[in-house]
Amino acid sequence: MPAGNVPRVTRGRPDVEVQQLRRTFQVAERDAGLVAALRGLGRRRTREVTAVDGVSFRVDPGEVVGFLGPNGAGKTTTLKMLTGLLHPTAGEARVLDAVPWRREPAFLARITLVMGNRNQLQWDLPALDSYEMNRSIYRLPPASFRRDRDDLVELLGIGDLVRKPVRTLSLGERMKAEIVGALLHQPQVLFLDEPTLGLDLVMQRRIRTFLAEYNRRRGATILLTSHYMADVEALCSRVLLIDTGRLLFDGSLRALADRFQARQTVTVTLADHAADLSGQMSGYGEVVQAEGGRVVLLVERERTSAVAGRILAEHRVDDLTIEDPSIEDVIERAFAGGAAS
Amino acid sequence: MTAAPLTRAPTPTVPWGGPGRRGPRHLLDFYLTTARTAIAEQFQYRAANYAYMIGMVVEPVVYLVVWTTVAKAEGGAVGGVTAGDFVAYYIVWTLVRNMNIVFTPYGWEERIREGHFSALLLRPMHPLHFDLAYFAGWKVVVIILWLPIAALLSLAFHPTFSLTWARAGAFVVAIWGAYLVRSLVLWLLGMLTFWTTRVSAPFELFFTLELLLSGRLVPLTLMPDWAQSIAAWTPFPSTFGFPIDTLAGNLDGPELARGLGVQLLWVLIGWGLVRLTWPRAVRRYAAVGG
């Protein structure tokens, strides 16, 4: 890991602070067909689309925060504003004490943005050449650059790949090479937009482990969007839920589960495998599966203990388990409910 | 709701990565590194580059054949330009043309539409530096590949050169001056794309005017006086006619110095306008899809 075991930094104030951030786009629209096209010659019809609608949050130093939402929710637009790629329509933001869209070099040198669907390396050259360019762009001292580069390359296990033209690498290999390039300048705040998009499970896990390690050793702040809940569960202590440009929830995964996880799954395996007890079991909760003496029930959280006790008392039970629903289910439920935080 | 003022983040207590000292030395390091990268990349495509350059030779050879034929028919010269002068002019033309190929304004639409600008904008330096450095590296490849082409054309058409050390030195400076002027002018033109995606009409108008007023189609001395007067107020002669005349013409010391001075002036004007326009242009970057 670059710079060795650097202790977690205590910076006290937020690294990212956003207040009432809003971004709208003017989108041209017309009906299909020639008549509509001809009508559009006279007056162009546009519609204002609000991508981000008054979002406020803060991210403290060293935090890893998941930024979650369905497609078109406003996640990427927010990240683009926080990295200075987009100017907001309204609102305020500060990242590392800088207004991102002023794009001051000192600010840009302390952040990075990794986009899972975008290539920032020179396509026709080995990644090593792009890394060398990054050294000159970020004005890194050659000796520390080489040390950090080699450490990152080793940590991600791409020693053989960085000498091959980027265009010959697989998606996963390229993403790892991208991440090395994005971290060479030791950014203080990492904005990661779907960093594991399209990767196989092994590769996803490797990148997650790497990011967790980077955060642990450097104390870097990470704001991460991902559609893979495994990323979020492995990395994020806190999540922001956004939908239609509005922030629905801001809190820990535990708090999210408590809020939206209304029911738990109770799985009962009865001693009498041949018994068809689904009718009787429906009195305990919603039966979602009943087969060969095994019954799966959904039970309101506050009733789970009592229901489990009743089942054990009233039936001969071989096995009984109580599980929380998956984080995917919780988040799906949150978006379905559109609950405010 | 009124947003409360945001708190200030303190300076980190450990040295975070980022730029070391900024200054001309580091900018030079960036230019050299990026140019080296471009050279490596373009040498990978040397066959394609050669095919491209050979394709570009067709245009000056057509001009060359037409004008030398006219000169011979006129008794050896047109407006004081001999057949040998025409050959020299269009052989140097091939290098100058390749030297002033820079990032095309047509490429801006894709950069903006596909979000390719994002990677450049995330860097702690003006994106113009990357284009200047990268294409400068490509020019090194172009010059190396041009030498045998120029030798072959010289053997085939017998140019007349009256070369002096001063002219050769001025030419080396002038081709890079032409490169800078055209880079800046086309960057300004490309920035129009931030305001409208229907940019092909102004681009075509620009390139037509450039063809006529730069010395690309025909040496400027053969153009009517009024056209020469107009051209003198544009950057076009600095990108074509002047660097060609530096090597293939008979410019004396003061004329060389004046031409280089005009190039410098256009570089300063171009850089100033880019600095002025860029902040307004980049505000309009929507980074769609990028």
Six-digit token pair at B102?
């820079």
Say if CB A147 and CB B48 are below 8 A apart. no
pLDDT band with cut points at 50, 70 and 90 for residue B275: very high
Interface residue B13 vs chain A (CB under 8 A): yes
- Mutation pick from B8, B14, B27 vs chain A, by most beta carbons of A within 10 Å, is B14
Structure confidence by residue, pLDDT tens digits, B129-161: 999 999 999 888 888 888 888 888 889 888 888
Structure confidence by residue, pLDDT tens digits, B239-265: 999 999 999 888 888 999 999 999 999
The CA angle A108-A214-A12, to the nearest 5 degrees, is 65
Say if CB A331 and CB A339 are below 8 A apart. no
- The pLDDT assigned to B289 comes to 45
b/e per residue A293-332 (b: at least 16 CB within 10 A) = bebbbebeeeebeebbeebeeebeeeeeeeeebebebbbe
Average pLDDT score over chain B: 85
DSSP E strand boundaries for chain B:
77-78, 81-82
Interface residue B19 vs chain A (CB under 8 A): yes
B21, part of any domain: no
Say if CB B163 and CB A148 are below 8 A apart. no
How close, in Å, is residue A260 to chain B by CA atoms?
28
- Give the range with max mean pLDDT: A228-232, A269-273, B46-50, B227-231: B227-231
B19, part of any domain: no
pLDDT band with cut points at 50, 70 and 90 for residue A1: very low
A223, part of any domain: no
- The pLDDT assigned to B22 comes to 62
Between B44-58, B93-107, B183-197, the lowest mean confidence (pLDDT) is in B44-58
A163, part of any domain: no
* Burial label, A13 (beta-carbon count in 10 A; 0-12, 13-18, 19+): middle
A125 vs A44, which has greater pLDDT?
A: A125
CATH code, domain carrying A297? 3.30.70
Tell me: pLDDT of B13 over 70: no
* B17–A187 C-beta distance less than 8 A: yes
Between A5-19, A237-251, A292-306, B202-216, the lowest mean confidence (pLDDT) is in A5-19
Q: Which residues of A touch B131 (CB under 8 A)?
A: none
Tell me: pLDDT of A205 over 90: no
Structure confidence by residue, pLDDT tens digits, B60-72: 888 888 988 888 8
Structure confidence by residue, pLDDT tens digits, A123-171: 888 999 999 999 999 989 888 899 989 988 888 888 889 999 888 988 8
A294, part of any domain: yes
**Total number of domains in chain B:** 1
Query: Residue B93 belongs to what domain range?
Result: 31-282
pLDDT band with cut points at 50, 70 and 90 for residue B16: very low
- The pLDDT assigned to B15 comes to 39
The mean pLDDT of B276-287, rounded to a whole number, is 85
- The pLDDT assigned to B61 comes to 87
- The pLDDT assigned to A273 comes to 67
B1, part of any domain: no
- The pLDDT assigned to A203 comes to 80
How close, in Å, is residue A242 to chain B by CA atoms?
19
pLDDT band with cut points at 50, 70 and 90 for residue A198: confident
| Residue A125: closest CA among B42, B199, B214, B116 | B42
**Residues of chain B above pLDDT 70, percent:** 91
| Length of chain A counted residue by residue | 341
B15, part of any domain: no
Q: Which residues of A touch B22 (CB under 8 A)?
A: 105, 139
- The pLDDT assigned to A10 comes to 47
Q: How far apart are CA A216 and CA A210, in angstroms?
A: 10
- The pLDDT assigned to A112 comes to 93
- The pLDDT assigned to B71 comes to 87
- Give the range with max mean pLDDT: A323-332, B13-22, B270-279: B270-279
Secondary structure string (H, E, C) spanning chain A: CCCCCCCCCCCCCCCEEEEEEEEEEEEECCCCCHHHHHHHHHCCCEEEEEEEEEEEEEECCCCEEEEECCCCCCHHHHHHHHCCCCCCCEEEEEECCECHHHCCHHHHCCEEEEECCCCCCCCCCEHHHHHHHHHHHCCCCHHHHHHHHHHHHHHCCCCCHHHCEHHHCCHHHHHHHHHHHHHCCCCCEEEEECCCCCCCHHHHHHHHHHHHHHHHHHCCEEEEECCCHHHHHHHCCEEEEEECCEEEEEEEHHHHHHHHCCEEEEEEEECCCCCCCHHHHCCCCEEEEEECCEEEEEEEHHHHHHHHHHHHHHCCEEEEEEECCCHHHHHHHHHHHCCCC
How close, in Å, is residue A224 to chain B by CA atoms?
16
- Please give the C-alpha separations between residue A87 and each of A80, A81, A224, B20, in angstroms, as whole numbers: 9, 6, 20, 28
B233, part of any domain: yes
B108 vs A330, which has greater pLDDT?
A: B108
Q: Bridge partners of A67?
A: A225, A240
**Residues of chain A above pLDDT 90, percent:** 28
Structure confidence by residue, pLDDT tens digits, A226-236: 878 788 888 89
A180, part of any domain: no
Tell me: pLDDT of B201 over 90: no
Q: How many C-beta atoms surround the C-beta of residue A213 within 10 A?
A: 12
Tell me: pLDDT of A294 over 50: yes
* Burial label, A287 (beta-carbon count in 10 A; 0-12, 13-18, 19+): middle
Q: Which residues of A touch B29 (CB under 8 A)?
A: 136, 139
Secondary structure string (H, E, C) spanning A185-226: CCCCEEEEECCCCCCCHHHHHHHHHHHHHHHHHHCCEEEEEC
Six-digit token pair at B267?
């570089």
Q: How far apart are CA A103 and CA A100, in angstroms?
A: 6
* A7–B14 C-beta distance less than 8 A: yes
B3, part of any domain: no
b/e per residue B41-80 (b: at least 16 CB within 10 A) = bbeeeeeebeeebeebbeebbebbeebbeebeeeeeebee
Q: Which residues of B touch A109 (CB under 8 A)?
A: 17-19, 124
Tell me: pLDDT of B30 over 80: yes
- Give the range with max mean pLDDT: A81-90, B13-22, B93-102: A81-90
ipTM, 2 dp: 0.79
Six-digit token pair at B196?
């409208």
Average pLDDT score over chain A: 84
Contacts of A39 (CB under 8 A, 6+ apart): A30
- The pLDDT assigned to B255 comes to 92
Tell me: pLDDT of A274 over 70: no
* B9–A137 C-beta distance less than 8 A: no
Q: How far apart are CA B77 and CA B266, in angstroms?
A: 33
* B45–A94 C-beta distance less than 8 A: no
Using DSSP, state whether B184 is helix, strand or coil: helix
**Total number of domains in chain A:** 1
- Give the range with max mean pLDDT: A267-276, A294-303, B25-34: B25-34
How close, in Å, is residue B145 to chain A by CA atoms?
20
Phi, psi of B202 (to 5 degrees): -65, -35
The mean pLDDT of B67-84, rounded to a whole number, is 86
A52, part of any domain: no
- Please give the C-alpha separations between residue A242 and each of A67, A73, A80, in angstroms, as whole numbers: 7, 6, 15
- Please give the C-alpha separations between residue B204 and each of A263, B110, B131, in angstroms, as whole numbers: 66, 18, 22
Query: Residue A289 belongs to what domain range?
Result: 262-323
A32 vs B117, which has greater pLDDT?
A: B117
Using DSSP, state whether B155 is helix, strand or coil: helix
For residue A59, the one-letter residue type is: V
Q: How far apart are CA A175 and CA A121, in angstroms?
A: 10
The mean pLDDT of B177-187, rounded to a whole number, is 96
Q: Among all residues of chain B, which has the CA nearest to that of A91?
A: B3
Q: Which residues of A touch B123 (CB under 8 A)?
A: 108, 137
A309, part of any domain: yes
